[in-house]
Amino acid sequence: MHITSPADPHHNPTKHRWFVFTIFFFFMLLHQSDKLLIAPLTTDIMKEFNINEAQMGMVTSGAIIVGAIFYPVWGYLYDRYARAKLLALASFIWGCTTWISAIARTYPTFIGSRASTGIDDSSYPGLYSLLSDYFPPQTRGKVYGFLQITAPLGYLTGMVLALILGGLIGWRSVFYITGSLGIVLAIFIFFGVKEAPRGGSEPELENIEQKIQYKFNWKTAGDLFKRKSWLLLLTQGFFGVFPWQVITFWFFHYLETERGFDATQQLITMGIAILFLAAGYPIGGMLGDYFFQRNPRGRIYVAASGVIIGAILLWITMSIPDGNFVPFTVMLCLSAIFIPFASPNVISTVYDITLPEVRSTANAIQYFVEQGGSAVAPTLAGFIAVSSSMKDSILIICTAAWILCFIFFLFVMKLLPKDLELLRSRMHERAELEKQLV
């Protein structure tokens, strides 16, 4: 830490926090659209480069691997330097790497350029960390919940862009458009988003003009691993991502091959379900905020309820006999509401127990661990499907993962109050120190 005068002492972060939220919402929405755009464009890309499914799979795997490597890099940089400027850099990298992908004329060049898009794919920890300094703890679940609807909405946006524009202007031109948007957003973030003091929205420091700036140091980062509730959240995160990856990779295939849904039925079912899924993020976040203000374990109550109710409802949904299109779709939508409840509450809880100067690092480590699950899940599902069925594969993996998450959440509930109190104690000490410097 070091003592300094704020660059803008009259700046009140709360005055334009919703502007910052809006900029980040569109950043995540368009970035997710660009990231997921390659799936509906896969056939056209394979034809142009004359490659098979295995070679195309390597394109996606490359981006995942690069993203995993860069999570801890981004986490350290965000906690050490200005997050707003680094997010502008991430947006600029997104635009440039997408443009390079559009320019690539050979398969080796294309796979390399698409792998490089993984650099910005792992840039979100700084965004969440910066917003934690704009919004107080009691509202973060809602804020993160609304931000996280960008993933399902981005999927739909990418699909629409690919289907409408892909055939008209070609896949390269679609990449030119999304890449250009990344560069435009980089300009908005660089000039429009102001850095907030780390910890400035914590209750103890909310009305204090901070003269001490806290930045990443290795001791504080090492202390993260003494937070038992955080370690349990990491573990549940590894298993918690299994259902997402299995459903993303295999659910369309399941609807087509085992339920006999035609293309229209698949589009209707999944389109409506994705909208309900998107609604589940802010609903879960708002419920988490509500119960957190009444009980320190409130967020985890909501997260645990979401995974267990989601598991039960998905099991009922998959048990509906084939041919019952409407009941299946209705139950799938009902299941989709509860499935994302844990997501905004887990990240909010991570920030409830970690010091502001290592929150990006804590979040980055969390995502790094989750990438392990994302790499294993689709392959595991394929092996189970070969020996049994895709229905059994989805049910076994999803319900087993969610039951494990529920168990880990029970242990988190027991340990969480101690870690919450430890953070509040540290923030109180900092507030007292700031008062002495006035």
pLDDT digits (tens, 9 = 90+) for 269-297: 888 998 999 999 999 999 999 999 999 99
Say if residue 11's pLDDT is above 60: no
Overall average pLDDT of the 179-202 stretch = 93
Whether 263 shows a pLDDT value over 80: the answer reads: no
Distance CA 345, CA 383 (A): 32
Q: Find the mean pLDDT for residues 291-316.
A: 96
Q: What is the 3-state secondary structure (H, E, C) of the chain?
A: CEECCCCCCCCCHHHHHHHHHHHHHHHHHHHHHHHHCCCCCHHHHHHHHCCCHHHHHHHHHHHHHHHHHHHHHHHHHHHHCCHHHHHHHHHHHHHHHHHHHHHCCCHHHHHHHHHHCHHHHCCHHHHHHHHHCCCCHHHHHHHHHHHHCHHHHHHHHHHHHHHHHHHHHCHHHHHHHHHHHHHHHHHHHHHHCCCCCCCCCCCCCCCCCCCEECCCCHHHHHHHHHCHHHHHHHHHHHHHHHHHHHHHHHHHHHHHHCCCCCHHHHHHHHHHHHHHHHHHHHHHHHHHHHHHCCCCCHHHHHHHHHHHHHHHHHHHHHHCCCCCHHHHHHHHHHHHHHHHHHHHHHHHHHHHHCCHHHHHHHHHHHHHHHHHHHHHHHHHHHHHHHHCCHHHHHHHHHHHHHHHHHHHHHHHHHHHHHHHHHHHHHHHHHHHHHHHHC
Q: HSE-up of 265 (CA within 13 Å, CB side)?
A: 19
Q: How confident is the model at residue 9 (pLDDT cuts 50, 70, 90)?
A: very low
Q: What percent of the chain has pLDDT over 90?
A: 59
Lowest mean pLDDT among 152-156, 161-165, 333-337: 161-165
If one counts every other C-beta atom within 10 angstroms of the C-beta of residue 232, the result is 21
What mean pLDDT is reported for the chain? 89
Largest Cα separation within the chain, whole Å, is: 71
More confident: 386 or 401 = 401
Tell me the average pLDDT across 119-133: 93
The predicted pLDDT at position 223 comes to: 92
- pLDDT, one tens digit per residue, over 205-225 is 877 887 888 888 899 999 999
Q: For residue 10, name the pLDDT band (cuts at 50, 70, 90).
A: very low
pLDDT score at 5: 39
Please give the pLDDT value at position 6.
42
How many residues can be counted in the chain?
438
* Burial (Cβ within 10 Å: 0-12, 13-18, ≥19) of residue 342: buried
Whether 248 shows a pLDDT value over 80: the answer reads no
| 2: confidence class by pLDDT, cuts 50, 70, 90 | low
Say yes or no to pLDDT of 185 above 50.
yes
| pLDDT tens digit sequence for 353-375 | 999 999 999 999 999 998 877 77
Mean pLDDT of 241-267: 83
The arithmetic mean of pLDDT across residues 291-306, rounded, is 96
Phi, psi of 213 (to 5 degrees): -105, 125
Question: With the C-alpha atoms ordered 281, 283, 284, 285, is the resulting torsion angle positive or negative?
Answer: positive
Find the mean pLDDT for residues 123-130: 94
- Looking at residue 251, what is its pLDDT? 83
Q: What pLDDT digit, counting tens, does each position of 13-49 carry?
A: 566 899 999 999 999 999 988 887 777 777 788 888 8
pLDDT the model gives residue 247: 84
> Is residue 3 predicted with pLDDT exceeding 80?
no
pLDDT at position 404, please? 96
- What is the chain's alpha carbon radius of gyration, rounded to the nearest angstrom? 22
Q: Lowest-pLDDT range, 74-83, 100-109, 243-252?
A: 243-252
